Structure 1
Amino acid sequence: MTNDHEKKAKNNSGNKAQFKIIQGGLSNHAREVTFDQLKSYLQPILSEKIHINFLIGSGSSLPAIPIMGTTFSDYKKSHKNDGEFNNILKLYYEKCSNEADLNNIELFLSWLANRVNGLSQSELGTEQKIKDELTKTLIDSITKGYLKEIKKTNRGTKDESTNSPDSTTTNYELFIRRTAKLRESTSSQFDTVNLFTTNYDLFLENALDGLDYAYTDGFRAKLHPEFNITEYSRRPVDVAHRFRNRWSPVSPFFRVYKLHGSINWIEVDDKIEKKSNIKEVGESVVIAPTTSKYADSQGAPYSDLFRELSVQLLNPNSLLVVNGFGFGDEHINELIIQALGRSDFALLAFVKEDEVGVTRFMEKVRGNTKVTFITNGKENDKANYFSTLVELLAFEDPFEVHKNSEDPASDK
């Protein structure tokens, strides 16, 4: 009997060129490949004795959490009769240089922030109110989307959507499981996987908890977990399976770096604490999506987290795999470009090449053969989907049986 994963493989195999591999940025060496060819290309790379880093962006948490542009559109619709807001929006539209900017929440919040900085205290009212309200709306949409998805896929229920291929929770769990499998044959020097993310949600931590993999997120195990950057230099050992009185580190091991903060972080007496119940959090500690992200990241704990990103990317024999990130954060882009100055660093990015941020970054790294972009071929428009990466990592596993199988790249 053919199982669902065999059907998926069949759907993805064949002679149709679904993906395009581009080396060195725009207008450089490119070739179209099938799903199976791309899988055969990717998995050996991720099994090598190298340091593995992932950069996970907001696109990876679809469909549970809407993209920021969708949140901005919904906010505008809900305020269509708000005269003060529409007056501000009209001023913003007059400043937009192209149509794509009209629904760009980051540019709008940045524009608002600049106006707030240039206004007197008596003039602040409307701009500051809209900026604060829209930022809160964005964080709330992420929190609500995460909680709704977790409730829907709660392991204590019999909800079949838990195993649906369009479940964000399922995608993250399969990503962790399959990455761990690819790294299990490497030595303890290379079996740590660094998971950098610009997302505020908790899907990575939820997947690691659910699969019971050892990991650190930078917080010390205390009654009130407190962030301390030194936690990333610690690693648990396997006491039960020591051999000849030698301690063996727990393998594989994951490090989670929340570069822009998290919905379950709060500030208490100038310290960052983590709450287990995000319903009680209130004001989350996050970097708002504005062009001032670089300046905002200079304070603790963000400066420490970005320093860790730089350090890990400059590790000898390192690979960075990017998914769901549109290269819109110049601070991160510069750290990647800096790492590309090394001969033993490589970048592998799953992208939609016609996105503005992606196009600009591809232009910057043009000609660098250590950069590989995976984008859409003639028969596919979902190369940048997280579910596509997850399926490319798949291996034969009798425990991975989904009841509602579709083309794995049918949903993000």
Structure 2
Amino acid sequence: MSNQIDNKAQENESQATTIHCFQGTEDLLENINNKDKKEKIKAVLFDLFNIKNVNFLFGAGTSNGAIPTMKELQKCVVEKLSKDEKKIFDEIKDKNLEEILEILYFRKTYLKNNPQDKDKDNREFNTLKSLIEKIENAISQRNNLKNSLSEDEKKIFEEVKERNLEEILEILYSGKTYLKNNPQDKDKDNREFDTLKSLIEKIEETIFQKINIEIGINCGSNVQKEVFENYMKFYKKVTYRNKDLNRVNVFTTNNDLFNEYVLDYLNIDYNNGFGGGLKRSFNPARFEYVFAKKMDEGIEKYEPLNHMIYLYKLHGSINWIETKNHNSFFDIEEIYLKSEDKKPKETCLIYPTPLKEGKSLTSPYTDLIREFQKKLSLPNSVLFIIGYSFSDEHINTIIYRALASNNSLSVVVFADKDKLARIPLFSINDKRIYVIYGKDEDKTIHYFKYFVDELIPEQKQNEEDEIYKKFASMVKNVTGDKNDCG
């Protein structure tokens, strides 16, 4: 009877815990008891985390729940389209939103610069322009995009509505560029250009409004609060590294402001390539800056700041705009945004859409990608990948090339291995590549929350920082300051 109970307990434990940690094609946990599997993973991560150069790559999964996915945003876009926009959209609806925007930009540019039937091209150009604007707005708006679209805009949008918003915007940009430069039926092209322009604007506005959300520890939304706390736990643990090791680099494809709000909340200094006071301008040279403090007034001896993060937003940010109103070589400015703010009139850099208004692979995206490539080429480096779907081939290629050229680079991927089967990288037996995934009872171990709660190594905090935080907490308790929402 006792043996039956023990066997049943082991069977239930096995069903509740299915944790895997692959190194190449070998599962490091294959012959380890379930209760010891998590400790084995933590030991592996501890060794990797103490490598000289630590890098993280965050994808949409790290902000999951608080920020809609591109597929969810696309549904918002459809609701705002006019008839003409829907017609254009339907032609490319099988693409994702990025691809759709690229095509729209091309068509808009074509109509603008190559008129043959002026009225037709102008109409299509205006429709494309309107559709693009609505899609861009829809990615961050809380209301449905389709309700705001004209009939022409809906017509365009229906052609591409099956794709995600970023793909849709790429298609729209392409069409807008095409119609702008190659009009054949002037009236028709003008109409289509206007429709494309409108469609692009709607997509961009939707993206902006959906991403520009309230962020803070005391926010009303429990989901947004939980995501904020996840980021907070992450930065608390990774900030304090041995002073002999380089500071942590965080690369992210997300356009939201969770990283910035959390870093500010924790009083952690970060370098995101922007500098200045009231006007913060982009300068990639700043990524080479080392932040240090003087150890002794009598001698020239310095040590790096304990709490310092290098933040690279590979797909831009909702608070980056193109502007020529300041004295800077790079026409990129970082602005302060509140959650209730509307999309700025200036061009928001919220995705590196190819050929967007002639900005193909220009600064800041090339500079940020170059930094990503540079960091992965350093000896004794590790890249932790969390919440990233490997849908960006440009980023994927950099990772592949880094593995091919840097023998001391390790890559640790937190993702369902079955979903990575389409990627050849995870089918080869390379001991530098780790894939961690599975279930620990009702918790998914490759999710960001489990990673920060259970797996990431604890770091010893600086005594001075602990004293400061304790003092600040006591002052807040006395003053009753609870204004922590962004």
What TM-score comes out, normalization by structure 2 length?
0.65
Q: Which residue of 1 aligns with 2:44?
A: 41
Q: CA separation of 1:245/1:91 partners in 2, compared to 1, >3 Å: closer, same or farther? A: closer
Q: Which residue of 1 aligns with 2:280?
A: 225
Q: Which residue of 1 aligns with 2:236?
A: 177
Local SS of the residue matching 1:167? helix
Aligned partners of 1:365 and 1:371 also within 8 Å = no
Aligned partners of 1:265 and 1:281 also within 8 Å = no
* Correspondence 1:3-22 to 2 at 5 A: 16-22=16-22
Q: Which residue of 1 aligns with 2:365?
A: 302
Q: 1:29 aligns with which of 10, 26, 29?
A: 26
Q: CA separation of 1:72/1:228 partners in 2, compared to 1, >3 Å: closer, same or farther? A: same
Paired residue type of 2:46: Q
Q: Which residue of 2 aligns with 1:409?
A: none
Q: CA separation of 1:298/1:322 partners in 2, compared to 1, >3 Å: closer, same or farther? A: same
| 2:400 equivalent to 1:337 | yes
Aligned partners of 1:56 and 1:199 also within 8 Å = yes
* Correspondence 1:303-322 to 2 at 5 A: 303-322=366-385
Shift of 1:275: 1.6
* Correspondence 1:373-388 to 2 at 5 A: 373-377=435-439, 382-388=444-450
Q: CA separation of 1:37/1:380 partners in 2, compared to 1, >3 Å: closer, same or farther? A: farther
Paired residue type of 1:331: H
Q: CA separation of 1:170/1:60 partners in 2, compared to 1, >3 Å: closer, same or farther? A: same
Shift of 1:221: 3.0
Shift of 1:59: 1.7
Q: 1:262 aligns with which of 290, 309, 317?
A: 317
Gaps of 5+ in 2: 1-12, 97-160, 184-188, 325-329, 467-486
Give CA deviations for 1:352-400 in whole Å, capped at 9, x if unaligned: 3444xx443344762332111222358567344211221122649999x
Q: Which residue of 1 aligns with 2:269?
A: 214
Aligned partners of 2:59 and 2:388 also within 8 Å = yes
* Correspondence 1:3-402 to 2 at 5 A: 16-24=16-24, 28-30=25-27, 34-46=37-49, 48-76=50-78, 78-79=79-80, 82-93=82-93, 102-119=162-179, 120=183, 121-122=189-190, 123-143=192-212, 145=213, 148-150=214-216, 153=218, 167-181=226-240, 183=241, 186-188=242-244, 190-239=245-294, 245-269=300-324, 271-278=331-338, 279=341, 282=344, 283=346, 285-288=348-351, 290=353, 298-341=361-404, 342-355=406-419, 358-363=420-425, 366-377=428-439, 382-391=444-453, 392-393=455-456, 395=458
Aligned partners of 2:215 and 2:261 also within 8 Å = no
Paired residue type of 2:43: S
- Distance across 2 between alignment mates of 1:20 and 1:195: 25
Paired residue type of 2:228: T
- Distance across 2 between alignment mates of 1:58 and 1:362: 22
Shift of 1:201: 1.4
Local SS of the residue matching 2:71? helix
Structure of higher CA gyration radius: 2
- Distance across 1 between alignment mates of 2:380 and 2:285: 23
Local SS of the residue matching 2:201? helix
Local SS of the residue matching 2:195? helix
Which region of structure 1 is more displaced relative to structure 2, 171-180 or 86-95?
A: 86-95
Aligned partners of 1:64 and 1:149 also within 8 Å = no
Give CA deviations for 1:261-285 in whole Å, capped at 9, x if unaligned: 1111122215212223353761453
Q: Which residue of 2 aligns with 1:408?
A: none
Aligned partners of 1:79 and 1:85 also within 8 Å = no
Aligned partners of 1:213 and 1:253 also within 8 Å = yes
- Distance across 2 between alignment mates of 1:292 and 1:378: 45
- Distance across 2 between alignment mates of 1:94 and 1:72: 11
- Distance across 1 between alignment mates of 2:224 and 2:301: 42
Local SS of the residue matching 2:282? coil
Paired residue type of 1:43: F
Aligned partners of 2:318 and 2:350 also within 8 Å = no
- Distance across 2 between alignment mates of 1:371 and 1:338: 14
Instruction: State the superposition RMSD in angstroms.
Output: 3.4
Shift of 1:109: 2.9
Aligned partners of 2:92 and 2:163 also within 8 Å = no
State the structure with bigger RCO (CA 8 A, min sep 6), 1 or 2.
1
Shift of 1:289: 6.5
Local SS of the residue matching 1:66? coil
- Distance across 2 between alignment mates of 1:95 and 1:277: 31
How many residues align structurally?
360
- Distance across 1 between alignment mates of 2:45 and 2:458: 12
Aligned partners of 1:153 and 1:169 also within 8 Å = no
Shift of 1:318: 0.5
Give CA deviations for 1:298-337 in whole Å, capped at 9, x if unaligned: 2112211111111111011000111121111111111111
Shift of 1:41: 2.5
- Distance across 1 between alignment mates of 2:409 and 2:316: 26
- Distance across 2 between alignment mates of 1:135 and 1:382: 33
Identity of aligned residues (%): 27
Give CA deviations for 1:212-255 in whole Å, capped at 9, x if unaligned: 22221111233312111121111222236668652222124211
- Distance across 2 between alignment mates of 1:117 and 1:243: 62
Gaps of 5+ in 1: 1-13, 400-412
- Distance across 2 between alignment mates of 1:243 and 1:169: 42
- Distance across 2 between alignment mates of 1:287 and 1:95: 19
